[in-house]
Amino acid sequence: MTEKASVYENVTRQFDKAADLMGLDPEIRKILSKTTNEIIVNFPVRMDNGRIEMFRGYRVQHNNALGPYKGGLRFHPAVNIDEVRALATWMTWKSAIIDIPFGGAKGGIQFDPGDFSTRELERISRRFTFALGSNIGPEYDIPAPDVNTNAQIMAWILDTYLSMMPPLERNCSLHVVTGKPIESGGSLGRDKATGQGVVCLIEQWARDQDFDLTGATYAVQGFGNVGSWAARLMKPHGAKLVAVEDATGAILSPDGIDPDDLTSYVEKHRGIADYPNTKLVDHEAFLSTQADIFIPAALENQITARTAPLLNVKLVAEGANGPTDPDGDAILQEKGLDMLPDILCNAGGVVVSYFEWLQNKRSEFWDLEEVDTKLQRKMVSAYERVRDAAHAYDTDWRTAAYIIALSRLGKVYKERGIFP
Neighbours of 255 (CB within 10 A): 8
Residue placing its CB nearer to ligand NAD in the complex, 319 or 326: 319
Compute CA distances 376 → 17, 281, 372, 380, whole Å.
29, 36, 6, 6
- For residue 238, the number of C-alpha atoms closer than 13 Å in the C-beta half-sphere is 5
Residue 368 contacts by C-beta under 8 Å, 6 or more apart in sequence?
Answer: 188, 189
Print burial letters for 262-301: b (CB count within 10 Å at least 16), e (below 16): beebbeeeeebeebeebeebeeeebbbbebbbbbbbbbbb
| In the complex, minimum distance from the CB of residue 238 to ligand NAD, in angstroms, rounded to a whole number | 24
| In the complex, minimum distance from the CB of residue 204 to ligand NAD, in angstroms, rounded to a whole number | 18
Give the active site residue among 17, 106, 180, 240.
106
Neighbours of 212 (CB within 10 A): 12
Residue placing its CB nearer to ligand NAD in the complex, 55 or 286: 286
Decide if 106 is catalytic: yes
Taking the C-alpha atoms of residue 306 and residue 224, their distance in angstroms, rounded to an integer, is: 25
Taking the C-alpha atoms of residue 155 and residue 399, their distance in angstroms, rounded to an integer, is: 37
Taking the C-alpha atoms of residue 383 and residue 339, their distance in angstroms, rounded to an integer, is: 12
Q: What is the CA radius of gyration of the chain?
A: 21
Q: Look at the alpha carbons of 299, 304, 310, 315 in this order and tell me if their dihedral is positive or negative.
A: positive
Taking the C-alpha atoms of residue 115 and residue 47, their distance in angstroms, rounded to an integer, is: 11
| In the complex, minimum distance from the CB of residue 73 to ligand NAD, in angstroms, rounded to a whole number | 10
Q: Are strands 315-317 and 249-257 parallel, antiparallel or unpaired?
A: unpaired
Residue placing its CB nearer to ligand NAD in the complex, 1 or 305: 1
Contact criterion met (CB below 8 Å) for 207 and 233: no
Residue placing its CB nearer to ligand NAD in the complex, 131 or 230: 230
| In the complex, minimum distance from the CB of residue 418 to ligand NAD, in angstroms, rounded to a whole number | 31
The CB-nearest residue to ligand NAD is 224
| In the complex, minimum distance from the CB of residue 283 to ligand NAD, in angstroms, rounded to a whole number | 8
Q: Are strands 37-46 and 141-145 parallel, antiparallel or unpaired?
A: unpaired
Taking the C-alpha atoms of residue 113 and residue 105, their distance in angstroms, rounded to an integer, is: 22
| In the complex, minimum distance from the CB of residue 148 to ligand NAD, in angstroms, rounded to a whole number | 5
Contact criterion met (CB below 8 Å) for 107 and 14: no
| In the complex, minimum distance from the CB of residue 14 to ligand NAD, in angstroms, rounded to a whole number | 16
Taking the C-alpha atoms of residue 231 and residue 336, their distance in angstroms, rounded to an integer, is: 24
Binding site for ligand NAD (CB under 6 A): 1-2, 145-148, 194, 221-227, 245-247, 297-299, 319-321, 346, 349
Contact criterion met (CB below 8 Å) for 201 and 383: yes
Residue placing its CB nearer to ligand NAD in the complex, 24 or 146: 146
Count of all residues that appear for the chain in the document: 420
- Residues with a catalytic annotation lie at 106
